[in-house]
Amino acid sequence: MTFGKGCHLHLIDGSAFIFRAYHALPPLTRKSDGLPIGAVSGFCNMLQRYVEGNHGGDVTHVAVIFDKGSHTFRNDLYDQYKANREAMPEDLRPQIPLTRQATEAFNIACKEMEGYEADDIIATLAVQAREAGGRVTIISSDKDLMQLVGNGVEMFDAMKNRSIDRDGVIEKFGVGPERVVDVQALAGDSVDNVPGAPGIGIKTAALLINEYGSLEDLLDRAEEIKQPKRRQTLIEKRDQIELSKKLVQLDCETPLEFTLDDLEVREPDPERLMEFLAKMEFRTLTKRISEKLGVEAPAIPEKTPDTAEEGAPTAEALPFDGEAYECIREIDALTPWIDRIRERGYVAVDTETTGLNEMIAELVGVSLCIDPGKACYIPLTHKDGDADDLFGSDALAEGQIPLEEALAALKPVLEDPSILKIGQNIKYDFKILKRYGIAVSPIDDTMLMSYAMHGGEHGHGMDTLSERYLGHTPIPIKPLLGSGKSAITFDKVKIDDATPYAAEDADVTLRLWQLFKPQLHRAKVTTVYETLERPLVPVLAQMEMHGVKVDREVLSRMSNAFAQKMAGLEAEIHELAGESFNVGSPAQLGEILFDKMSLPGGKKGKTGKYSTPADVLEDLATEHDLPRRVLDWRQLSKLKSTYTDALQTHINPDTGRVHTSYSITGANTGRLASTDPNLQNIPVRSEEGRRIREAFVAEPGNVLVSLDYSQIELRILAHIAQIPALKQAFSDGLDIHAMTASEMFDVPLDEMTPDIRRQAKAINFGVIYGISGFGLARNLRIPRAEAQGFIDRYFERFPGIRAYMDDTVGFAKEHGYVQTLFGRRIHTTEINAKGPTAGFAKRAAINAPIQGTAADVIRRAMVRMPTAIAELPARMLLQVHDELLFEVAEDAVDSLIDAARDVMEGAADPAVKLDVNLVVDAGQGANWAEAH
DNA sequence: CTAGAGCGCTCG
DNA sequence: GTACGAGCGCTCTAGC
């Protein structure tokens, strides 16, 4: 078929495919000889998905285009072109020719030309196809190709699964495709080492091009530019800019040795394809494609154990098979497992228990896995599952190794410093086993690995990770346990049903570990994982198990007092409303306020119900007595239900203490999250609420000591955004909010009023949150224009802030993540979204490095703390983001404060040299209210 | 009866 | 339509 009108050409950027495949997969090797083939495997998977995805589509011609050789005409123009490219990884080099073979095996045209980049060939073909009247889709996300978009040519980003049209190009470059090279010539490209105009980025470049029409006009009329620096750059660097344009301009006249007609879509040749896939030993892919094509899959020899690297991930995933797992019912069957673990040096471990509360749950069984697909389950305390038999249900089921005997066999392995124990959320298993006298160490945690690499991209639970990275949905627990009232605990599950479920968890964990472990350093987060995530596990486990003493009597008395006051308020509210209704129902309250009483300001939410938040009621309080009563009632209701009542239910009957659980991966920024109960939101701001903290007490002869970082986020902002005035103020020990107010409103410090300071404080916080006029206006209850005026003035006085915000958002857009000073990466998946989401994402991106760096700092302090206070009669109990709470013997308070303060104030050292000091305030008392 | 969404409030 | 990051108790409704 001759290429012409109605034809549709797909051009696949092969080199981009290869690099993506290489970085997405672990270093897989061919079983028979250890040849690296990870990238080839990923490449073939992408090609197969491409072929399947286009089945029945209108594509008539297709080609995969590759780079060839490293020297191109661009190097003749500029010898530094792509000079700072990193060398190709050693294990990728031998895979390059194999990807050509793969393309040919799929019977897709495979094109390259010595001395030309793939981009030039793509450009030439696209132009030819367009001139012939056809349509073109370029499958790539390379921004250098965006200059080709338009007039029937579009791009498709296979990664994000979205096409890029003219509007997409304008979004990226601020100009249409025809002016993309002009913008690139100005902005340069650090990856390809294109110099561009120093100090001009994409945004400024787009602005200039849009104003002057084209690069040539801009350079000719450079004298007219107002900004002196910019004018000088454009005049002085004219040659460099013109050279840059030649470097980024794609060559649409590459002398091709083939025509469009040669690219016609061809049916795959099953025999040839199968032969190639079998040669690569891709078992799963061979099977899948053979089924698709309806041909027989060729046999692939099994692996020869002596050549396969020990423990190396295999190229093709072994299917999950619940039948294949071993159930260990006697000690003689356990011994060989223990021997194999000793030989191997690592093992994936998972515990099954009677509940989710590690301080109460009892051990039911243990799973182990050292090779994918080969896992075992050791049932220990399963009961006879006959629910009708009231006596039998408490008896241990037959065929289980006695608990003590099994633990005695496992303990030496689990505590052996030369054997790595791998878990998914291993803090849970660590705590359970600790209660049975086993101190698990050393450890690795796949959940934490995922968090370090993919924080912000998705959750890190086992089901999510397994589906996403292993393509396997683990057996759900629901059918085994049931739900609601009729739910049973795991010890009541039949051992035969428990085995595939439990062993699979260990299997999944092991496979995730094999996948993640080598990826950590490629993702450049090994240090983050090893210094900020993993070491926290034993530290938090210890804190959680120790718990904090809570005085039930104090809570109980307060609860009764609250109940009485609430009853009184409720009667008054009903009286004022003229009818009885549920004060706790915003919907009912809304109808009373806005319909019955016709008060102003009634807004309805998405469910069509009135919304009655506190600030609205606050406004209404000037018009009527009822809203104030409701506000008072709500405060009491909150205190009673969430704190005085619910907290009591969390007091552990054995310890008399409350044991929270910290989630290391709970917050995207690196902060911890506290659950069951949340001890990070115990009231403190209101006088009545603060009294809840009187119930958090020290044991007799001890006191509670609280140490908290003073203004840590603002200090970090001063450092990151390099604000001289802020840094100076901190170094002088000034009241930072008063200083801000003085600077902004031209009020001398000795004439400062509380109100002016309050406004400055709100602005300081606003900056950390990614300030907006709307948000500040709402917070300060002032007109939006006035709030905007404040912000403008702030940016004027502290110009570094604006630059920090712009730079951070720019970085997020380019890389898809932002970073803390310690290298933690927080992914910003929505940063390129449109509409209101864009605003959210930008503010989150601005806030994340600040909040995240503060979180890293206190994590570092916590990791060092146990050693620092080991000799003292003291325990670290709680973390509340910028505060650590300790319980310490009365006579050791001063030593504890000295030691802990040293650790906290020096927590950034030596990894990061901050331009500001970290300052820690300390307090002490018989209870948390006094200590804070 | 149970699960989940929405609201509102607590903290740093 | 908006400040950043979290968790939890209550009400209400949809669906078993």
Of chain A residues 636-655, which have a beta carbon within 7 Å of strand C? 637, 641-642, 645-646
Q: Is the pLDDT of residue A310 over 70?
A: no
Mean of per-residue pLDDT scores for chain A: 92
Which string of DSSP letters, residue by residue, matches A640-653?
IIIIIIHHHHTB-T
Nucleotide nearest to A882 (CA to C1'): B12
Q: CA at A650, C1' at C13: how many angstroms apart?
A: 30
Strand B atom within 7 Å of A706 CB: no
Of the listed ranges A248-257, A348-357, A524-533, the least confidently predicted one is: A248-257
**CA-to-C1' span, A220 to C9 (A):** 68
Residue A278 corresponds to which tokens in the numbers above?
């079998």
A841 CA – C15 C1', rounded, Å: 35
Q: Which residue is nearest to nucleotide C11 (CA to C1')?
A: A585
CA A559 to C1' B6, in angstroms, rounded, equals 27
Q: Is the CB of A266 under 7 A from strand C?
A: no
The answer to whether A613 CB is within 7 Å of strand C is no
Which whole number is the average pLDDT over A576-587? 94
Which residue's C-alpha is at the least distance from the C1' of C6? A673
Share of chain A above pLDDT 70, in %: 97
Looking up tokens 């709402």 gives A778
Closest CA to A720 of A592, A577, A818: A818
Give the pLDDT band (50/70/90) at residue A93.
Answer: confident
Find the Å distance, CA of residue A484 to C1' of nucleotide B4.
Answer: 14
Q: DSSP letters along A385-399, please?
A: --TT-TTGGGSBPSS
* C-alpha–C-alpha distance, residues A898 and A904, integer Å: 10
CA angle A505, A489, A404 (to 5 degrees): 75
Residue range A475-497: average pLDDT?
92
Nucleotide nearest to A608 (CA to C1'): B6
Q: Which of residues 377-396 of A touch strand C (CB under 7 A)?
A: none
d(CA A3, CA A131): 10
Alpha carbons within 13 angstroms on the beta-carbon side of residue A35 total 16
Q: What is the pLDDT of residue A711?
A: 97
Q: Which of A224-228, A232-236, A736-740 has the highest mean pLDDT?
A: A736-740
Residue nearest to nucleotide B6 (CA to C1'): A607
CA of A367 to C1' of C4 (A): 41
Q: For residue A280, how far is the Cα from the chain centroid?
A: 34
Whether pLDDT at A73 is above 50: yes
Model pLDDT, residue A302: 61
What is the predicted pLDDT for the residue at A70?
76
Nucleotide with C1' nearest the A881 CA: B12
Q: Provide the pLDDT for residue A34.
A: 76
Enumerate residues 6+ apart whose C-beta is below 8 A from A174: A183, A202, A203, A205, A206, A207, A209, A210
Is strand B less than 7 A from the beta carbon of A485?
Answer: yes
Question: For A594-599, what is the mean pLDDT?
Answer: 94
Q: Does strand C come within 7 Å of the CB of A828? A: no
The answer to whether strand C lies under 7 Å from the CB of residue A563 is no
Name the nucleotide with the smallest C1'–CA separation from A673: C6
- CA angle (A418 as vertex; A415, A420 as ends), nearest 5: 75
Q: Report the interhelical angle of A784-797 vs A799-815 (nearest 10°).
A: 100
The answer to whether residue A678 scores a pLDDT higher than 60 is yes
Selected residue with higher pLDDT from A382 and A294:
A382
Specify the pLDDT at position A161: 67
Distance A766 CA to C4 C1' (A): 9
> HSE (CB half, 13 Å, CA atoms) of A330?
2
Which H helix or E strand runs over A817? strand A817-819
Question: Does residue A141 approach strand C to less than 7 Å at its CB?
Answer: no
Report the pLDDT averaged over residues A846-868: 98
Model pLDDT for residues A711-726, shown as the tens digit of each residue: 999 999 999 999 999 9
| Terminal-residue alpha carbon distance, chain A | 81
A833 touches strand C (CB under 7 A): no
Of residues A387 and A201, more confidence is placed in A201
Q: Is residue A878 classed as helix, strand or coil in its secondary structure?
A: strand
- Choose the weakest-confidence range: A285-299, A459-473, A656-670: A285-299
Q: What is the pLDDT of residue A154?
A: 92
Q: What is the pLDDT of residue A304?
A: 43
pLDDT digits (tens, 9 = 90+) for A766-782: 999 998 999 999 999 99
Indicate whether A313 pLDDT > 50.
Answer: no
Q: What is the pLDDT of residue A82?
A: 84
Q: C1' nearest to CA of A766: which nucleotide?
A: C3
Confirm whether any atom of chain B, the nucleic acid strand, is less than 7 Å from CB of A885: no
Instruction: Give CA–CA dist A790/A164, Å, rounded.
Output: 39
Among chain A residues 586-605, those with CB within 7 Å of any atom of strand C? 587-588
Q: Which nucleotide is nearest to A692 (CA to C1')?
A: B10
Rounded to whole angstroms, the Cα distance separating A407 from A566 reads 53
What pLDDT does A314 receive?
46
Report how far residue A740's alpha carbon sits from residue A629's, in angstroms, rounded to the nearest whole number: 37
- H/E run at residue A374: strand A374-379
Instruction: Round and report the angstrom distance from CA (A585) to C1' (B6).
Output: 12
pLDDT in tens, A557-571: 999 999 999 999 999
Taking the stretch 228-287 of protein chain A, residues with Cβ within 7 Å of any atom in nucleic acid chain B are none
Residue A725 neighbours by CB distance under 10 Å? 14
A681 touches strand B (CB under 7 A): yes
Q: How far is the CA of A183 from the C1' of B10 (A)?
A: 50
The string of pLDDT tens digits covering residues A600-627 is 988 988 888 999 999 999 999 999 999 9
Omega prior to A910 cis, within 30 of 0? yes
User: Which residue's CA shows the smallest distance to C1' of C1?
Assistant: A836
State which H helix or E strand residue A543 sits in: helix A536-546
Q: In this structure, is the CB of residue A904 within 7 Å of any atom belonging to strand B?
A: no
CA A643 / C1′ C9 distance in Å = 10
What domains are there in chain A, each with its CATH number? 8-165+251-263 (3.40.50.1010), 322-547 (3.30.420.10), 549-658 (1.20.1060.10)
- The integer distance in angstroms from the CA atom of A682 to the C1' atom of C3 is 23
Closest CA to A185 of A250, A123, A131, A137: A250
pLDDT at A670 (0 to 100): 97
| CB-proximal positions of chain B, under 7 Å | 1-3, 6-12
* A376 pLDDT more than 60: yes
d(CA A187, C1' B10) / Å: 48
Query: Average pLDDT of A403-418?
Result: 97
**Contact of A125 with A252, CB cutoff 8 Å:** no
Q: Is the pLDDT of residue A386 over 70?
A: no
Q: How far is the CA of A850 from the C1' of B12 (A)?
A: 13
Query: Averaged over A217-239, what is the pLDDT?
Result: 88
Question: pLDDT band at A477, cuts 50/70/90?
Answer: very high
Share of chain A above pLDDT 90, in %: 74
pTM for this entry: 0.72
A689 touches strand B (CB under 7 A): yes
Residue A19 binned pLDDT confidence (cut-offs 50, 70, 90): confident
Residue A376 burial (10 A CB sphere; 0-12, 13-18, 19+): buried
Asked if the model's pLDDT at residue A698 lies above 90, the reply is yes
Q: Which of residues 849-868 of A touch strand C (CB under 7 A)?
A: 851
Question: Nearest residue to B10 (CA, C1')?
Answer: A681
Q: Residue A198 contacts by C-beta under 8 Å, 6 or more apart in sequence?
A: A233, A237
With bands split at pLDDT 50, 70 and 90, how would you rate the model's confidence at A327?
very high
Higher pLDDT, A271 or A546: A546
Tens of pLDDT, residue by residue over A100-133, are 999 999 999 999 988 889 999 999 999 999 999 9
CB of residue A771 closer than 7 A to nucleic acid strand C? yes
